[in-house]
Amino acid sequence: MSRPGSAGPRSVYVHVPFCAKRCHYCDYSVARSLDPPLDAYFDALIADLDEWFDTHGWSEPVDIETLFIGGGTPSLLGAGGMRRLAELLGTRFAWEPSRIEWTAEANPNSLSADVCAAWRELGVNRLSLGVQSFQDGPLEWLGRLHDADEAVAAVERARAVGFDRINVDLIFGLPDDVPRDWSFDVARALELGVTHVSAYGLTAEPRTPLGRLVDLGRVRLPGDVRYGDEYLDVSNVLRRAGYEHYEVSNFARPGHASVHNWHYWDGSEYLGLGPSAHSYLAGERIWNVYRWDRYRKAAEARESVREGRERPGPTELRLERIWLGLRTRSGVPWTEVGAEGHEAKLEAWRREGWIEPDGVALRLTSTGWLRLDPIATEVAGWSNDPAGPAGEIESTHKWQGNSA
């Protein structure tokens, strides 16, 4: 089908902004609500979709390969809300039930057996659980609404209704004074037999309560040594257990890597719906209004819900290709690296154990991933591009999306 200016998104991300509580470390677009205003939310999504289809002149339906429902807390949609969302998306997009990867995020405390069963029957075939820890002490400090038993029960409920692709999110790098056995959490995930683990280091983002507490000196995050030790610990344990460490933060049983995430990293086009959602279409990065209330207001007035856009130039695109490639096991082909004249640097990195001895591509080891940003910035600067040297890598790109 003809899609002027765009080959069409292969993937769709939908942001559900509602949460019963905002965690003090969370920097995502979140609106506190125990009873989400679903009518207003779906009306706003319709306006969002209308704007996209009017802008690009897409014929309906657009074929997609992956669908990711993230948040926020999508499990607050319940069974009926997810059904309404699927019906709405089904008017604009087409997918083959046996081939699509359809992921939905959930928090253990709001994922009931009924919701689990309804989602699976509807066609959701990959579940991502915001577990963060299997210990009560860390969960309490993080401000999570579930306890350790609920985290385990959520995994077991999901498996009982037929989910055979289950991810758990775990957070490492908590402050020294938080009682936590990181090895226990990793081992518990293995015992539960989940097919995917996403391990994220705790960060203190500037506009979060945690960020302010760190600035005031009231919370002290761990130093580089312990942070690195915990990162390498999860990598070593999961790889020995047969998981592939296929991206900086992600581990999967063979055949269970996130296809949706790969579309962020391999340059595919993707579409984001909902407040703060990001899209990449026809070489342009576009992001929506961040806050739910402003997104809703713009949608109700039939004003644009887009907040910004940028079209990266050759230098920025090279920097992104290098950074995205190096953050995955695919690495960056040597033909793209421009290594001539930098053999001594590469040999030094090999001796340090930061890069793999590989004749096809420059690939980072798990130890090298701890130095991803400076290595990617340096490699991107090896280009002979007349546009000049690449800029600095930002650890969290605003277009990256939140997914697992």
pLDDT for res 98: 87
**CA 277 to chain centroid:** 12
Sign, CA dihedral 323-327-333-337, equals: positive
Q: What is the pLDDT of residues 146-170, one digit of tens each?
A: 999 999 999 999 999 999 999 999 9
Query: Is the pLDDT score of 260 beyond 70?
Result: yes
Options 3.80.30.20, 2.40.30.10, 3.40.50.300, 3.30.1490.190; CATH of 11-265? 3.80.30.20
d(CA 109, CA 210): 23
pLDDT for res 5: 56
Query: Is the pLDDT score of 390 beyond 70?
Result: no
pLDDT for res 264: 94
Query: Is the pLDDT score of 43 beyond 80?
Result: yes
pLDDT for res 26: 92
Count other C-beta atoms under 10 Å from residue 388's C-beta: 10
Lowest-confidence pick of 302-306, 369-373, 400-404: 400-404
Q: How confident is the model at residue 385 (pLDDT cuts 50, 70, 90)?
A: very low
Please report, for the chain, the start and end positions of each structural domain, with discontinuous segments joined by +: 11-265, 314-380
Query: Is the pLDDT score of 289 beyond 50?
Result: yes
What CATH number has the domain spanning 314-380? 1.10.10
* Residue 328 backbone phi and psi in degrees, to 5: -120, 165
Query: Is the pLDDT score of 297 beyond 80?
Result: yes
pTM here is 0.92
- Report the greatest alpha carbon distance in the chain: 61
Q: How confident is the model at residue 34 (pLDDT cuts 50, 70, 90)?
A: confident
Query: Is the pLDDT score of 172 beyond 60?
Result: yes
Query: Is the pLDDT score of 241 beyond 90?
Result: yes
Q: What is the pLDDT of residues 191-209, one digit of tens each?
A: 999 999 999 999 999 989 9
What is the percentage of the chain residues whose pLDDT exceeds 70?
A: 93
Query: Is the pLDDT score of 259 beyond 50?
Result: yes
Query: Is the pLDDT score of 1 beyond 70?
Result: no
Count other C-beta atoms under 10 Å from residue 322's C-beta: 27
Q: Mean per-residue pLDDT for 374-394? A: 67
Q: Is 378 left (phi over 0), alpha (psi -120 to 50) or beta?
A: alpha
pLDDT for res 174: 97
d(CA 33, CA 30): 9
- 284-288 sheet: strands from edge to edge: 244-247, 250-252, 196-201, 166-172, 126-132, 101-106, 66-71, 11-16, 270-273, 278-281, 284-288, 306-310
What count of residues does the chain have? Answer: 404
